[in-house]
């Protein structure tokens, strides 16, 4: 490899970032309300009428994606039978219910990405399973653990209010339900509110349009399993956005459209995918008791603070850390300082990104197109992508890269999209423009939570998220979060965070039920101590303001302390998983208070007496 001019690269990265910084940050995007509300309609399952619920359940789980499913599964395993999942989609699956665009597949190896494989006895058919198989797996989990029995599908929660006198939650929904639950678990998902770019004139387009998370197969032809999009042969289509979603659907569009315009603001880094079918004989050799937990731990150990001898998973994520560790090994032990480690990290990043850029040249026939497809930032500034057909799609006649040089689409007209003063007339615009991130939790949830004393979660978190272990929140008894932040925060494998949270919740609820406790709540001191502990770390692993803007870094705008609270365990995901396992098995539930009906927290009782 030729010598890398590091200063020149740093300069280039800065220039490319500066081009893209904009004062409106997250406000540049549009919510799908008002005239855009129909973009959110469910194209996959017709709504069926049902009578509203006004009963009582032991636990309501909000969200029927991986988070809700694994929590429901762990609860059932713990003998908690009365579980009700409330899900806005027409079936379980969450992100895999909504995202059925052609080519959708997981980017983390299926063996660690797909949860509860061992429990359900499923062998992923490919190293990176495609969306229909993952959606089917969600249904499998639902059936295996009996989670359909009491579920409310096509149902959105409107309000959650704690009833102090009866020690239970009242849940109201858009289907007229008003039922109660002793406990609630919220697994609303990190990327589930589609957004549109706020491009001037977006409302004027007279052709067809949709967001990738509500793919309109009636318009394109084809189906989620990859059948050709046979209604596009005479269509001119523009795709806006070149993130992980576009990378997967563009090859399918390129094969099908008369003309395809891929409108790019920032190129993705697209590394080798190397997908392959699973060999059942090989799988039989690895799938011995406890295999998936071993693989999960190995995956995490390989990249998030662990000491792994071997790399079982060998995917794009573990490759990033393998390279970094190799660089570290080159350093003499006496030179191992934080500075030298950061430099080693930067070196391995430069090398990796140079390879990814060189790959563009080897694949793309037109040198100008190749130049424009190169990503100029550190790899983890944006979500890394892995694909073996995306770049190749730009060699297909009729597929055009419309590079906006960081500026984005200038305007949308009745007839098409305008970039750098040129209008591209199209019949259809497909928005691969992503999902809301970095906005307030309750805004994304679509409901607020009213806890003890009428305090709202939006108020409690006005200065940023505050939890114990990323699961419990002071002032919100019997309510649990199922998500990564303030826990392991392992972004390369979100489902691992969720299965662990599910375990924690199941153990805690089981303990309360076994001992006749009506309420569980973290003490204010425990929550404060956990938050202080989180803040003692080096800050968010992702989202450096030096990066080119994107949702990893709040579109390049500092979030202050709020942003700092979006972290995980200061010593890494491995340390969190080990800690929380000890916490669960100790049986002392340190930091939680268990109370009888209507008792109120001990601190309040002391004040009153
Ligand atoms: P992203 O937010 O990653 O991408 C949105 C795209 O829209 C970006 O390329 C963005 O450009 C572009 N864009 C926004 N505004 C404009 C504008 N005004 N003009 C032109 N372009 C614009 O969304 P995705 O749906 O691709 O992915 C979201 C996340 O979902 C991923 O990061 C990943 O975490 C997850 N995902 C996971 C998959 C998997 O595991 N297999 C597959 C797909 C998604 P810019 O970069 O300049 O902001």
pLDDT(113) > 70: yes
CA of 66 to the centre of ligand 1 (A): 21
CA of 242 to the centre of ligand 1 (A): 6
Sequence-ordered list of residues with C-beta below 8 angstroms from that of 531, at least 6 positions apart, any chain: 466, 467, 486, 565
Q: Identify the pLDDT of residue 2.
A: 73
List residues near ligand 1 (CB under 6 A): 20, 105-107, 191, 197, 199, 240-246, 248, 263, 265-266, 383, 404, 408-409, 432-435, 550-551
DSSP state of 224: T
DSSP tally for the chain: helices H, then strands E: 21, 21
Rounded CA-CA distance 84/82 in Å is 7
Q: Mean pLDDT over residues 483-496, rounded?
A: 95
Domain boundaries, the chain: 6-30+196-269+346-431, 56-193+437-595
Q: Of the candidates 77, 417, 410, 382, which has an alpha carbon nearest to the alpha carbon of residue 246? A: 382
Q: Identify the pLDDT of residue 110.
A: 97
Q: Mean pLDDT over residues 182-209, rounded?
A: 95
Cβ burial, residue 519 (10 Å; 0-12/13-18/19+): buried
- C-alpha angle 441-547-576 in degrees, rounded to nearest 5: 50
Indicate which atom in ligand 1 lies nearest the CA of residue 105: 41
Among 40-49, 402-411, 553-562, the range scoring the smallest mean pLDDT is 553-562
CA of 14 to the centre of ligand 1 (A): 21
Q: How confident is the model at residue 304 (pLDDT cuts 50, 70, 90)?
A: low
What CATH number belongs to 56-193+437-595? 3.50.50.60
321 or 179, greater pLDDT: 179
Q: Mean pLDDT over residues 599-609, rounded?
A: 60
Tokens of 41: 């309609």
pLDDT(64) > 80: yes
Cα 287 to Cα 105, 116, 141, 236, 438: the distances in Å are 22, 13, 18, 47, 39
Among 245-259, 330-344, 373-387, the range scoring the smallest mean pLDDT is 330-344
Q: Identify the pLDDT of residue 603.
A: 64
Q: Identify the pLDDT of residue 608.
A: 44
Rounded CA-CA distance 148/92 in Å is 9
Q: How confident is the model at residue 114 (pLDDT cuts 50, 70, 90)?
A: very high
Q: What share of the chain is helix, strand, coil (3-state, %, to 5)?
A: 40, 15, 45
Q: Of the candidates 7, 16, 190, which has an alpha carbon nearest to the alpha carbon of residue 547? A: 16
Q: How confident is the model at residue 609 (pLDDT cuts 50, 70, 90)?
A: very low
Instruction: Report the percent of the chain where pLDDT is more than 90.
Output: 79
Same fold, 6-30+196-269+346-431 and 56-193+437-595: yes
DSSP bridge pairs for 259: 236
Sequence-ordered list of residues with C-beta below 8 angstroms from that of 93, at least 6 positions apart, any chain: 64, 65, 134, 135, 138, 139
What CATH number belongs to 6-30+196-269+346-431? 3.50.50.60
- Residue 365 CB: number of other CB atoms within 10 A? 9
Cα 267 to Cα 18, 27, 360, 402, 569: the distances in Å are 15, 21, 11, 11, 31
Q: Identify the pLDDT of residue 55.
A: 98
pLDDT(571) > 80: yes
Cα 509 to Cα 296, 328, 584, 592: the distances in Å are 25, 43, 11, 12
Q: Rounded to two decimals, what is the model's pTM?
A: 0.95
Indicate which atom in ligand 1 lies nearest the CA of residue 265: 47
Tokens of 123: 């062998």
């Amino acid at each position: 490899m030729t010598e890398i001019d590091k200063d020149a690269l740093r300069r280039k990265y800065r220039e490319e970032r500066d081009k893209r910084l904009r004062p409106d940050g997250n406000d540049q995007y549009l919510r799908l309300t008002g005239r855009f509300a129909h973009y959110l309609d469910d194209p996959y399952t017709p709504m069926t009428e049902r009578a509203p619920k006004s009963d009582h359940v032991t636990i309501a789980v909000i969200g029927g994606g991986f988070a809700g499913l694994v929590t429901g599964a762990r609860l059932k395993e713990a003998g908690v039978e009365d579980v009700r999942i409330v899900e806005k989609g027409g079936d379980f699956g969450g992100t895999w219910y909504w995202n059925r665009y052609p080519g959708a597949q997981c980017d983390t190896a299926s063996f660690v990405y797909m949860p509860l494989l061992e429990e359900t006895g499923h062998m992923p058919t490919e190293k990176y399973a495609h969306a229909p198989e993952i959606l089917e797996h969600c249904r499998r989990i639902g059936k295996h653990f009996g989670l359909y029995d009491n579920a409310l599908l096509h149902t959105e929660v409107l309000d959650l209010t704690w009833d102090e006198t009866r020690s239970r939650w009242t849940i109201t929904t858009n289907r007229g339900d008003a039922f109660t639950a002793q406990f609630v678990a919220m697994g609303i998902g990190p990327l589930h509110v589609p957004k549109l770019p706020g491009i001037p004139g977006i409302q004027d387009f007279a052709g067809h349009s949709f967001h990738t998370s509500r793919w309109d197969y009636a318009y394109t032809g084809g189906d989620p399993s990859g059948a050709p999009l046979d209604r596009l042969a005479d269509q001119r289509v523009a795709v806006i956005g070149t993130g992980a979603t576009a990378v997967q659907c563009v090859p399918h569009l390129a094969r099908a459209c008369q003309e395809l315009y891929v409108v790019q603001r920032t190129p993705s880094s697209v590394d080798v995918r190397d997908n392959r079918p699973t060999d059942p004989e090989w799988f039989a050799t690895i799938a011995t008791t406890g295999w998936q937990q071993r693989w999960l731990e190995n995956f995490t150990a390989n990249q998030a603070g662990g000491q792994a001898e071997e790399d079982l998973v060998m995917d794009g994520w573990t490759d990033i850390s393998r390279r970094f560790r190799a660089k570290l090994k080159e350093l003499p032990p006496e030179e191992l300082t934080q500075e030298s480690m950061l430099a080693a990290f930067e070196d391995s990043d430069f090398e990796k990104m140079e390879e990814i850029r060189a790959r563009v040249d080897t694949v793309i026939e037109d040198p100008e197109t190749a130049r424009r497809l190169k990503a100029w930032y550190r790899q983890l500034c944006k979500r890394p992508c892995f694909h073996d057909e995306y770049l190749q799609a730009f060699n297909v006649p009729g597929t055009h890269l419309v590079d906006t040089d960081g500026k984005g689409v200038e305007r949308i007209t009745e007839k098409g999209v305008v970039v750098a003063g040129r209008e591209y007339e199209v019949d259809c615009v497909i928005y691969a423009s992503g999902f809301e991130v970095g906005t307030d939790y309750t805004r994304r949830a679509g409901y607020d939570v009213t806890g003890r004393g009428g305090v709202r979660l939006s108020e409690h978190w006005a200065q940023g998220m505050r939890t114990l272990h990323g699961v419990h929140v002071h002032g919100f008894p019997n309510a649990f979060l199922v998500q990564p932040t303030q826990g392991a925060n392992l972004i390369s494998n979100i489902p691992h965070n969720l299965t662990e949270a599910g375990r924690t919740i199941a153990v805690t609820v089981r303990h309360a039920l076994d001992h006749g406790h009506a309420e569980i709540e973290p003490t204010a001191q425990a929550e404060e101590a956990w938050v202080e502990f989180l803040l003692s770390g080096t800050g968010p692993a992702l989202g450096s303001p030096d990066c080119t803007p994107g949702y990893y870094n709040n579109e390049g705008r500092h979030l202050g302390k709020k942003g700092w609270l979006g972290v995980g365990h200061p010593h890494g995901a491995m340390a969190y998983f080990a800690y929380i396992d000890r916490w669960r098995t100790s049986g002392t539930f340190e930091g939680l208070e268990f109370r009888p009906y209507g008792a109120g927290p001990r601190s309040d009782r002391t004040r009153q007496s």
